């Protein structure tokens, strides 16, 4: 069984450049707290826009964070599960994908302008430097189970590669499904039909 990391992140980057600014996200995330718009015990919104290539605007929840993330110059919606992850990697990935998809879809609906995420591609971050050091061995040990799980989630073959070569970076995988246009709603329906959506 592949070890589940202490924290697990799923990020969907923007499909194309947008006129939307991080400042436009702040009131949306604040409203989500008031309206309980996404899953979790929502606590606060923190502004990290001043950090270059940083987490951007973060909606803090008790068990997870939702970020309008600016890391690597790729703006996107990043869901990071901080605790209470399922004990096996398949269930953990399905949970994180479902929460990231729901939040990204909600943000597309509520944000003004031309916001659209690329659901054919995702970055999975294994935020556990003890169990997942960013070395080629971690990629080799993790690639097969992640590829199998995500191919089922997407309903198509998925290419999985290591996101960062520098061993000082976090261990993360870039995942891409080729062909077709994938929507958040369509992927959520696949997860629901599988009966494994938490």
Convert 120-152 to b/e letters by CB count within 10 Å (16 or more is b).
Answer: bbbbbbbbbeeebebeeebbeebbebbbebbbb
How far is residue 198 from each of residues 38, 42, 84, 121, measured CA to CA in Å?
Answer: 13, 17, 12, 22
Upper half-sphere CA count for residue 188 (Cβ side, 13 Å) = 13
User: Which residue did the predictor score with more confidence, 27 or 54?
Assistant: 27
* Span of 2-11, 63-72, 178-187 with lowest mean pLDDT: 178-187
What is the model's pLDDT at position 127?
96
Q: Tell me the pLDDT tens digit for each residue of 135-144.
A: 999 999 999 9
Q: Name the band, by pLDDT with cuts 50, 70 and 90, for residue 197.
A: very low
Q: Supply the pTM of this predicted model.
A: 0.92
What pLDDT sits at residue 178?
Answer: 78
pLDDT at position 180: 64
Q: Are 63 and 81 in contact (CB under 8 A)?
A: yes
Q: Tell me what pLDDT residue 6 has.
A: 95
121's enclosing H/E stretch is strand 121-127
- Rounded average pLDDT over 103-111: 93
Give 43-89 pLDDT, tens digit per residue: 999 999 888 888 999 999 999 999 999 999 999 999 999 999 999 99
Q: How far apart are CA 106 and CA 159, in angstroms?
A: 27
pLDDT tops 90 at residue 166: yes
Identify the pLDDT of residue 116.
93
When pLDDT is averaged across residues 106-120 and rounded to a whole number, the result is 90
């Amino acid at each position: 069984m592949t070890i589940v990391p202490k924290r697990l992140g799923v990020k969907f980057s923007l499909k194309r450049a947008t006129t939307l600014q991080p400042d436009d996200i702040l009131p949306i995330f604040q409203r989500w707290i008031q309206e309980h718009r996404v899953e979790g015990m929502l606590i606060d919104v923190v502004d990290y826009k001043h950090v270059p290539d940083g987490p951007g605007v973060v909606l803090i929840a008790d068990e997870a964070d939702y970020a309008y993330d600016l890391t690597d110059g790729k703006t996107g919606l990043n869901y990071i599960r901080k605790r209470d992850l399922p004990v096996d990697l398949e269930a953990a990935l399905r949970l994180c994908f479902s929460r990231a998809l729901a939040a990204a879809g909600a943000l597309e609906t509520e944000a003004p302008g031309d916001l659209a995420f690329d659901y054919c591609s995702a970055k999975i971050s294994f935020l556990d430097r003890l169990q997942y050091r960013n070395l080629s061995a971690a990629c080799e040990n993790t690639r097969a189970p992640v590829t199998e799980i995500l191919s089922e989630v997407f309903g198509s073959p998925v290419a999985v590669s290591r996101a960062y070569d520098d061993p000082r970076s976090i261990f993360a995988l870039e995942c891409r499904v080729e062909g077709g246009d994938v929507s958040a709603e369509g992927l959520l329906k696949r997860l629901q039909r599988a009966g494994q959506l938490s």
